[in-house]
Chains A and B, each alone.
Chain A
Amino acid sequence: ELKVEQNPLFLSMQEGKNYTIYCNYSTTSDRLYWYRQDPGKSLESLFVLLSNGAVKQEGRLMASLDTKARLSTLHITAAVHDLSATYFCAVVWGSGTYKYIFGTGTRLKVLA
């Protein structure tokens, strides 16, 4: 069974600081997705990583994928309050299927 774990589960950080969220998955998958969820809202797509070594950046967020280590990171640079949200990674499960397993989520709070 595929397991997707994120750490930390909760993260409180000061504005201007850098931090990294980790997403580990237990079986082979060549695609990984990052989403953002604001409180009480639905999920919004951030990044899609389609191959080993893929790196995507948008504003203060940068995501990378290491399929050999089964690890993805979401790096936050110079955090601002607007980045406060819960971040989820998701992995496609099984070859030829499109079933997604979501990580546990990381709740980020950026303090002014």
Chain B
Amino acid sequence: SQTIHQWPATLVQPVGSPLSLECTVEGTSNPNLYWYRQAAGRGLQLLFYSVGIGQISSEVPQNLSASRPQDRQFILSSKKLLLSDSGFYLCAWRTTVGTQYFGPGTRLLVL
């Protein structure tokens, strides 16, 4: 069966510091992968999605970037965090019928 991992689970970072969040998927090959952000009490905002290694589509201009160095690895990064980057970051992969399965998430607080 497929599983999706994210780490770290929680992170507290100062403004201006770098960020690296990692997502890995097991049990499937060549998955479509997604990064979402959820602000407190809000819905999900699509940040990036990837259909394959090295292929990244950005949905929202911001100071974040994503990379897919391996088939089942998706990384979200920032060179300098802003206060507005705080939120709950969710990684997901998509099945053939389009259902998304989400990882456990990373809760980021920027101070």
Contact = CB atoms under 8 A, between A and B. Distances in A.
Contact of B98 (A92, A102, A105): A92
Interface string A67-106: 0000000000000000000001010100000111111110
B100 A45 contact: yes
Interface residues of B, number: 23
Given A98-B94, A100-B46, A102-B44, A42 B99 contact: no
Contacts of A105: 42-43
Tell me if A's interface is mostly helix, strand, loop or mixed.
strand
A98 B103 CA distance: 18
Given A31-B98, A45-B99, 11 more contacts: A42-B104, A43-B44, A43-B100, A45-B100, A90-B100, A92-B98, A99-B46, A99-B49, A100-B100, A102-B36, A103-B43
6 contacts: A33-B99, A42-B104, A43-B90, A45-B101, A99-B49, A102-B36
Interface of B: 32, 34, 36, 42-44, 46, 49, 51, 57, 59, 90, 92, 94, 97-105
